[in-house]
Copies of this chain bind each other. A is one copy, B any other.
Amino acid sequence: MSAFSVIGKPVRKLDGKDKVLGRTRFVSDITLPGMATGRILRSPHAHARIVSIDTAAAERLPGVFAVIHAGNVTQQPFGYGSDNLPLKKDKVRCAGDEVAAVAAADGEVAERALDLIQVEYEVLEPVFDPFLALAAGAPRIHEERTDLDGNVSMRWDFETGDVEAAARQAAVIVEGEYSSPLSAPASIETHVCLAEFSSEGHLDVWTGVHMAFMYRKALADSLDLDWREITVHQPPIGGSFGGKIDIDPIDFITVLLARAARRPVKIHFSREEEFAGSRVRQPMHFKMRTGADADGNILFREAEVVSDNGAYNAWGSHALLVVMQTISSLYRVPNSRVSSRVVYTNKAYGGSVRGFGNPEATFAVEQQTEQLADALGMDPMDIRLKNANQSGDVTPQGMRITSCGLSDCIRAVRRQSGWDVRRGRIRDQHRGLGAAAYIHVGGGARIYPSDGCGSILKIDEAGRVTLITGASELGQGSETVLAMIAAEELGVPLAAIKVVNDDTEVKPWDVGAHASRTTFVAGNSAKVAARELREKLLETAGEFLEVDATDLEIRDGLITVKGSPGRSADYAKIARRRMLRQGGSMLIASSFYDPPTEPQDKRYVGNISAAYGFGAHVAEVEVDVETGLVTVVDLWTAHDVGRALNPMGVEGQIQGGAVMGLGLALTEELGIGDGHILQPSPREYGMLTALGVPPIHITLVETIDPEGPFGAKGVGEAGLIPVAAAVANAFADATGVRARSYPLAPWKVLEWLRQQPPPS
């Protein structure tokens, strides 16, 4: 019998059935009396000066409640570097930039009103290529930012040890350039925002954001509102994959329209607008070299990175923090140097998409790992094992590795894929095997003064246990795992728990869902509250059973006297008796868990996560050399998840991540023409469907993290990170040709094969 009643058992998502049956009520399902429909007028130009806006005809259209533009609203810049405005003022910097907006009786009227708005532009020369944007004489995109040198908006540089000296000692050095594409999080639910002011000026906003308290502050800051008088409601979120982390122009504009129209306003993006008006995964370009000694010990790694971040700095501008960590800390790398720049271009701009820089960096790092092995005549798995991070390590960036199953993960996929007998030996079938490992934060990520999450837990007279959590459910299964944690720690059946994740008035503070932190941080928070509540519960039971509380134990809701199984009481009855009596009281506990981490210092050194996740994938690909089509035949994955609290949920996250990674590796890329996204639909964009997914084999390595709740570590992004790297390595194994970018699209594959035909 397991020590646990709930933890470790596969549990279907508690909110799954409603979602599958179309019963879940998303923001788009909310209709308020008198609600108007909002629409946004977007720039057709990638770079232009706004000469004039004439809204008179639109305002006269019957059914139009408000027409807003930069000239008639109060707005302050937002974004990193305060480089963005909800409604653009003097200039537009990418196609799709928000220029005006309308609230009207319905969408049809709103669209007609948009058509009636006259905007005169003076078109400027755009720049879409980051290297052209870096060139002398390039068009200046943010000339108002006199703090900047040209179009470079940020620099993230890190150095440890002596790279030059290490390079001199290296037996082999591999070099290469690698690029990642412009892609989209493409959640099923598009962006939607509903805003309403009460007659007293209180603002209620319903949205899919999962950083609700940050969002509230950003709204208040940019629109000069009292942040105490904003309630951010979080109905169930129809997917995000990071795309809804940022506060976006849609949010500000909806609020501005609600204020101007004096009624509730909802803006709901069509699928096309979702592509055109939302954040993207920005392209990155790596110039990297790695060196090792003759025994295969990695001596140094060095990279120059350019992040083609688009027109404004949203969350995407910070993805280089993660890039830096992978370069400095995936495997033991004594000497490393990262020099990276975030560059403005006249394109869709970067948000925080699942993996957040790590798939991009891992694509470069792990190709070089296999290149190094090949150059040394070593097996790539051996070089990985030789250099693998180990428990007890502190990486040069100060990441304290506690639990670490990296070597076990490598060994698992090596064994399961038949690596030792198949790698390099199936090229005749146009097949190959490739591997990639990763390191990622798995115990929060201190990017803000607090990385905390609050919980409130109570038991009512029915025995209903309500967990009011600061966490956000965005489809990742947090509601289910938090219920499991609370049930296990409190000692009650899972069915007794209800997780409430409501609005910023009701829920305790939480920094938000990002960095795979929810199970770890919100889970620990729920666990602390549950422990306190269990103590109170057992104290009360001791009173009624006339024994000392320390002689009691609780499991599945049954409180028993240790050693006297006959003496027992139901937890709900105890809670009820405690409350429903003279001078009684309700069982309520609260907690706030902030992980024991530290912010990075100015040198980017600091243990920002309380645990780190590791894993390894092996992909087997088949390459059709006639068409260039690369097919992934099998994907073996092994992940150090600490402990799989809900194995079904963990596997679901890994599978989902892997599928998303396969899409990136093989098909997903947004083309840009004249600054416009060329394929604004999931089909044209190339998202994988279930039919395109190979068998995904999952091994869970349980290292039982000392700080994680019941030993768990975050796993939300893990499945995605090493996929493109493993596929590229497999492609190289199959063809002898290195993929320098992903996706491994047929047109690119044919071109690479043409340049360097595979050995026949």
B-binding residues in A (CB < 8 A):
14, 17-18, 20-21, 23, 25, 29, 31-33, 198-200, 213, 216-217, 220, 227-228, 231, 446, 448-450, 452, 454, 456, 458, 460-464, 466, 468, 495-496, 498, 500, 502, 504-506, 508-509, 579-586, 588-590, 592, 594, 596-598
Contacts and interface: CB of A to CB of B under 8 A. Distances in A.
Contact of A583 (B17, B468, B504, B594): B594
B460 A580 contact: no
A23 B598 contact: no
Given A198-B23, A590-B590, A506 B506 contact: yes
The 9 A-B residue pairs with the shortest CB-CB distance, nearest first, are: A449-B580, A585-B592, A588-B590, A228-B464, A227-B462, A17-B199, A586-B592, A450-B580, A454-B586
Contacts of A449: 580-582, 584
Contacts of A582: 446, 449-450, 594, 596-598
A500 B20 CA distance: 32
Given A217-B461, A588-B592, 7 more contacts: A25-B33, A217-B462, A446-B582, A456-B588, A464-B505, A508-B588, A585-B592
A51 to B, nearest CB: 40
Given A213-B460, A227-B462, A502-B506, A200 B452 contact: no
Contacts of A460: 213, 504, 508-509
25 contacts: A14-B200, A17-B199, A18-B198, A29-B33, A217-B461, A227-B464, A228-B462, A231-B498, A448-B580, A450-B580, A450-B584, A452-B579, A452-B584, A454-B586, A456-B456, A460-B504, A498-B505, A500-B506, A502-B502, A502-B506, A506-B506, A509-B586, A582-B598, A583-B594, A584-B594
Most B C-beta atoms less than 10 A away, residue of A32, A456, A581:
A456
A506 B580 contact: no
A32 B496 CA distance: 27
Given A456-B456, A496-B228, A597-B582, A466 B505 contact: yes
Contacts of A216: 462
Contact of A199 (B18, B199, B502, B506): B18
A505 B468 CA distance: 9
A572 to B, nearest CB: 8
Contacts of A231: 498
A213 B461 contact: yes
A210 B586 CA distance: 19
A579 B496 contact: no
A581 B454 contact: no
Contacts of A228: 462-464, 495-496
Nearest to A583: B594
B23 A199 contact: yes
Contacts of A463: 228
A752 B29 CA distance: 62
Contacts of A20: 199
Most B C-beta atoms less than 10 A away, residue of A227, A506, A581:
A506
Contacts of A466: 505-506
A225 to B, nearest CB: 11
Contact of A579 (B25, B32, B509, B588): B509
Contact of A25 (B18, B32, B583): B32
A500 B508 contact: no
A490 to B, nearest CB: 14
Contacts of A598: 582
A689 to B, nearest CB: 25
Contacts of A446: 582
A511 B172 CA distance: 77
Contact of A506 (B213, B468, B588): B468
Nearest to A495: B228
Nearest to A220: B462
Nearest to A28: B33
A31 B29 CA distance: 10
Contacts of A456: 456, 458, 588, 590
A592 to B, nearest CB: 4
Given A23-B199, A228-B495, A460-B509, A579 B31 contact: no
Contact of A584 (B199, B579, B586, B592): B592
Contacts of A504: 460, 464
A594 B588 contact: no
Nearest to A263: B23
A690 to B, nearest CB: 22
Contacts of A199: 17-18, 20-21, 23
Given A588-B590, A590-B588, A581 B458 contact: no
A506 B462 CA distance: 14
B580 A592 contact: no
A476 to B, nearest CB: 19
Nearest to A453: B586
Contacts of A220: 462
A132 B21 CA distance: 57
A188 B627 CA distance: 73
A445 to B, nearest CB: 14
A579 B450 contact: yes
B448 A508 contact: no
Nearest to A448: B580
Most B C-beta atoms less than 10 A away, residue of A198, A216, A228, A463:
A228
A499 to B, nearest CB: 9
Contacts of A580: 448-450
Nearest to A450: B580
Nearest to A577: B449
A29 B505 CA distance: 22
A449 to B, nearest CB: 4
A624 to B, nearest CB: 44
A359 B581 CA distance: 31
A508 B213 CA distance: 24
A450 B576 CA distance: 10
A400 to B, nearest CB: 15
Nearest to A499: B505
Contacts of A508: 458, 460, 586, 588
Contacts of A505: 464, 466, 498, 500
Contacts of A461: 213, 217, 509
Nearest to A216: B462
A268 B592 CA distance: 43
Contacts of A227: 462, 464
Contacts of A458: 454, 456, 508, 590
Contacts of A200: 14, 17-18
Contacts of A29: 33
